[in-house]
Structure 1
Amino acid sequence: MQNIQLGAISKLIIHNVGNKANDEGTHFADSMTDFVNIEEEVGQLIANNFKFDELFNFHFVPTLDLNPVYQFVKTIFKENSSFIDQSRNCARYLYDKSSHPKIKGGEFCMVYIRNCQVNEVTADALAFIKSENKETILKVTPSGNGFDMHTEKGININKLDKGCLIFNIDPEKGFVAAIVDQTNRSAEAQYWREEFFNLKVINNEFHQTNEFLSITKKFVTSQLPEDFEVTKTEQIGFLNRSVDYFKTHETFDKQGFEQEVFADGNVIESFRKFDNSYRVDNELELADSFEISDRAVKKQAKVFKNVLKLDRNFDIYIKGNRKLIEQGIELDGRKFYKIYYDVES
């Protein structure tokens, strides 16, 4: 996990970027925004929404120097006086990339933050914020001997629609960035990360752990039932053993993982074929040995299904030895499970 503390805001500017497909245009600010009375709230908006487990670099083919936003950011870090001009360049480029009809227009804000702490390094940062959805609040104001109430729309400081936080670290490798995209997760709306910034995930222990557990889950739930006759309890058993391996080891070893989780040579061979194919199809570069990230394990464990649902009557949580549960069919065709246990609580 990264130890990151944000510094003090020194510059802030807001532009409005519409949808290009709908010819909504852009509206540029001529000067920076006065943030004296809102610095705490803007800082809270940034601090509350970014997570730093999965980090990214700027990326571009054939060469990083052809990435427009990378060049704009690089110029700002070198020449602070270019902040307004480069923020306009960023807004223009974002407008060019906002060409899908489902992309919402909104306020585009850039914030310069000084003296952030990233592990043991002190570095400035640039925050990109795009607000697409407004929250409605009820505002109460005095009126004569009573009070009036009316609605106002604004930005929720606890929920960021889109954001990117770029630290002035390793510029030759594409800086270090964290990203947020809460509003658009469909394929056509990945423009924020992939089209506008063109970011590529940093292959750290969190990414390695997270991706390998994802591959294992996909194999057990989709490919394994196609290749072998397996029951739901057996599938849950494989998933539980997968998570247990990552919880009980500090370092991942692919061969050891396969033996502990799958054991059977035919299943291992099937898993290896699926793993290799998945890596190629998704352009993943994963090592066969790496340090395990506890936070990635906790994240993935939440989505690994260990619940056996029986019609609408029963949910059976299978957490341990699957040999303690047996499946059968009565003579009249009714299905049943038999469960063995030592202690009732």
Structure 2
Amino acid sequence: MFSISDIRLDMLATHYVGNKANGEDIYISKELVELESHELKSVLLQYFLTPFQEAASFHFWHASDLKLHEIMHFASAIFDNPDEFALQSANIARHLHEATNLPNIKSGEVHIAYFKGCPVDGKMVDAIGIYKTESKEKFLKINQTRGGYLFEPDEGVNPNKMDKGCLIFNIEREEGYRVHVVDKTNKGNEAQFWKDIFLKVRASADEYHTTHDYLKLCKEFIVDQIPGEYEVTKVEQIDYLNKSVDYFKKKEEFNKEEFEQEVFKIPELIDSFRKYEKQFEENYEVEFANNFDISSQAVKKQSRVFKSVLKLDKNFHVYIHGNSDMIEKGYDPQVGMNYYKIYFEEEN
């Protein structure tokens, strides 16, 4: 996840790409989109960046040589010389048109954006966004007149719904850049077009991203899935979170069976975790090995979002770092309120 609050949208080009297989043409804009309106920039930043805050990480790849990868070539030209943005945005649109050789791929506008100040792994880097809008929604414009109101039907793009997109961060160039991908319009074979045919990307499999993604899996399972299947207290949830992070902190290599036994222990809970892991792999297009090297950098970053805080109304925040057996929950019928009893040996 990355924050979008300080990211700047520097340039934007929009072209139209028809379906070449159906004989549809391409339209290349002669000018960039004007971005003087602060309100417009704000809406575009939300539209272009929000869907990628939880997106999986990929890299460009080529069967023989990354230098032959078209999108990577165009992106590198922009990163090396931003003055070529307009020229290379047109090349990206033409490449998309050439790749659209399946009759069921929808036509639409392609937007190429240039961002500055993207926070990635503690660094501020530039990024290039490529987006395609295929779906338009009908809406009503309501205008006040002298005698009342005028309703006008129209259609446009919902800024809260992205069809297809990718973000190319200017890091890890030799590995094919860090790339995040979104495709929410197609399933099955059609979904392969954007990711596999046009972008040609593969899921990142280095130890940093593997560790990062597995900790993300653990957090989602503990916070979102367990409460729906079992009766667990907040203290028990925090205990599972702490045990997960502690395992990654004290180990150099991940062992799946060992992790499951140390953290979840109960066979039914382990089975549930394995099912959730398979679903996670499908949703984020990743595949976890049973053993992998642990990245201490990824653990340090992800441990920040593993909240071990027990919030009691608006009065108390209890930080739990381990040994949940020292905390008891109860209910006082006379007072009509819940309570926690905490045992300790020394007060510091």
What range describes the TM-score normalised by the shorter chain of this pair? 0.5 to 0.7
For residues 118 and 258 of structure 1, the distance between their equivalents in structure 2, rounded to whole angstroms, comes to 30
Per-residue deviation at 1:45? 0.8
Q: Percent identity?
A: 30
1:109 alignment partner, one of 99, 111, 127: 111
CA distance 1:60–1:183, change in 2 (3 Å)? same
Tell me the residue number matched to 1:54. 56
Of 183, 196, 207, the match for 2:198? 196
CA contact (8 A) 1:6 1:113 kept: no
Equivalent residues of 1:254, 1:289 under 8 A apart: no
1:77 Cα deviation after fit: 0.7
Q: Which amino acid aligns with 1:96?
A: E
The answer on whether the counterparts of 1:17 and 1:91 sit within 8 Å (CA) in structure 2 is yes
What amino acid is the match of 1:21? A
Rounded to whole Å, the distance in 2 between the matches of 1:295 and 1:187 is: 38
Q: Matched residues in 2 for 1:6 and 1:118: separation?
A: 12
Structure 1 residues 263 and 143 mapped into 2: Cα distance closer, same or farther (>3 Å)? closer
Give yes or no for contact 1:13–1:84 (8 Å, CA) kept in 2.
Answer: yes
Partner of 1:79: 81
CA–CA distance in 1 between the matches of 2:35 and 2:127? 17
1:260-312 deviation digits (Å, cap 9, x = unpaired): 67999xxxxxx9xxx9xx9xxx9957334546768999xxxxxxxxxxxxxxx
The amino acid that maps onto 1:12 is L
Partner of 1:96: 98
8 Å Cα contact 1:60-1:66 kept in structure 2? yes
Q: Distance in 2 between matches of 1:201 and 1:13?
A: 27
The alpha-carbon distance between structure 1 residues 79 and 288, as it changes in their structure 2 partners (threshold 3 A), is closer
1:15 aligns with 2:10: no
- Partner of residue 41 from structure 2, selected from 39, 54, 70: 39
Shift in Å, 1:254:
2.6
Q: Given that residues 128 and 169 in structure 2 are in contact (C-alpha distance below 8 angstroms), is that contact kept between their aligned partners in structure 1?
A: yes
Q: Is the contact made by 1:2 and 1:53 (CA closer than 8 Å) also made in structure 2? A: no
CA distance in 1 between counterparts of 2:304 and 2:197 reads: 29
Say if 1:3 and 1:119, in contact at 8 Å, map to a contact too.
Answer: no
* Superposition CA RMSD, Å: 3.9
The one-letter code of the counterpart of 2:83 is: S
Structure 1 Cα separation of the partners of residues 101 and 216 of structure 2: 32
Match of 2:161 among 155, 159, 162: 159
Paired with 1:199 and 1:163, the residues of 2 have a C-alpha distance of 13
Say whether the 8 Å CA contact 1:124–1:167 is kept in structure 2: yes
1:119 Cα deviation after fit: 3.4
Which amino acid in 1 is paired with 2:177? Answer: F
2:21 alignment partner, SS class = coil
| Aligned mate of 1:172, from 162, 171, 174 | 174
Partner Cα distance (1:145, 1:263) in 2:
70
C-alpha contact (below 8 Å) 2:2/2:53 kept by paired residues: no
Query: Counterpart of 1:116 in structure 2: which amino acid?
Result: C
Task: Describe the shift of the 1:164–1:285 C-alpha distance in structure 2 as closer, same or farther (beyond 3 A).
Answer: same
The answer to whether structure 1 residue 249 and structure 2 residue 251 are counterparts is: no
Unpaired runs of 5+ residues, structure 1, are 214-235, 238-243, 265-270, 298-345
Structure 1 residue 170: Cα displacement: 2.0
User: TM-score scaled to structure 2, two decimals?
Assistant: 0.64
Task: Find the aligned partners of 1:187 and 1:209 in 2 and give their Cα distance.
Answer: 30
Q: Which of residues 125, 138, 141 is equivalent to 1:139?
A: 141
| Structure 2: distance between partners of 1:91 and 1:54 | 24
Task: Give the whole-Å Cα distance in 2 for the aligned partners of 1:26 and 1:111.
Answer: 19
Determine if contact 1:76/1:86 at 8 Å carries over to the other structure: yes
User: Tell me, what secondary structure is at the counterpart of 1:31?
Assistant: coil
TM-score w.r.t. length of structure 1? 0.65
Instruction: Answer yes or no: is the 8 Å Cα contact 1:4–1:119 preserved in 2.
Output: no
